[in-house]
Structure 1
């Protein structure tokens, strides 16, 4: 039965992930409800249902639009697979308990933000407000112990990132600041600090690799949203273990 539910959440994740791709692409352009059907970004041909099957359509079409034969960005199937895998892993880790809802909310928010940040280098305010509202309701129903930890986490996420922006003179963006505010409210102070540390560590390592391979130049901006997503999810699932390992190893 567990295998059935893992498969169920994986399929649910890739289906919702396909929708999250659309949201991440359309919200920054204000087009979320202006188009009834998904369309090819190159020739704008409306796509049929069999061209929209998550993962499968991309594979069968060899990663190209059936009409104009232009290549489809691999980020779309990759992110669908990400949500499917993350949904399944969330269920495997938490099972059918109330906290599973928070995990799925975080995965969903990060999916949309990563797509938008990679495509436009924008973390949309509308997406953050929407998920902040849902996470706030969740935290009222299931508060962190102590109850004020969410408020402290949100405050630290906002003030700490704002200070970094001021000191670094724009080393991070306003979208990152708002995102860390939402993350802090969801996770609390301790896990927020772990998520920030991991995001910076992973982001720095990835940037050095990309520059060494000459994929990006030293002066080319790199979106930080994907690294915040990776660091925050790692902190959510493994943050307490990392804190205990760190304290046990060095103190």
Structure 2
């Protein structure tokens, strides 16, 4: 399978993992893409089928060159060259990518519904468990049945949030509508100012449990929202650096 087509289809796999139905406009294109990919994979006849068709023509007293079955298989064999097969898969990937871009709003709406439910569940679990380490199951068990139920809720919510982010990242990687930077991963799921980002060391992997404990409001970002959050963080960082430089120059002049 062509790598680009496989990557594009990985977005839909991630969507389905969340239990979300593929939006109808995208599903329609997906069906067409599957048909194109199947044609690309099945256009070439198997060698033994070609031989069998030739033998049938000979047994029927025909010139194999004039036999329709043989002609059909020869045509398929001609089409089954790397350039054509790669091109068909590339066209299929492009069609699906365009659909993922055009109908991105439907995807983000579906992801946001799952995301909001999961973050609400996570907040409810945090009220019961406090800042306990979710990997410390012994402590959780000692806290009683309510804590155990909250622990289960929290882990289910975290699994959903990770699946949402996998879908988000897969979509971004395939469509190239936004740069996927790990140091700004948190900005996909929450709006934080520069000082919060810096002081709590929020760059890198998203720690949803930590963010819940900090009381940071969640909000799954679409492309425009994510880009705005990144721009705000970077502007504030530049302003801080510039202010520090001005202070340094002032101290040098006073000395």
Query: Normalization by structure 1: what TM-score?
Result: 0.26
Question: Whose helix proportion is higher, 1 or 2?
Answer: 2
Larger Rg, first or second structure (1 or 2): 2
Identify which of structures 1 and 2 has the higher relative contact order when contacts are C-alpha pairs closer than 8 Å and 6+ apart. Answer: 2
Query: Normalization by structure 2: what TM-score?
Result: 0.26
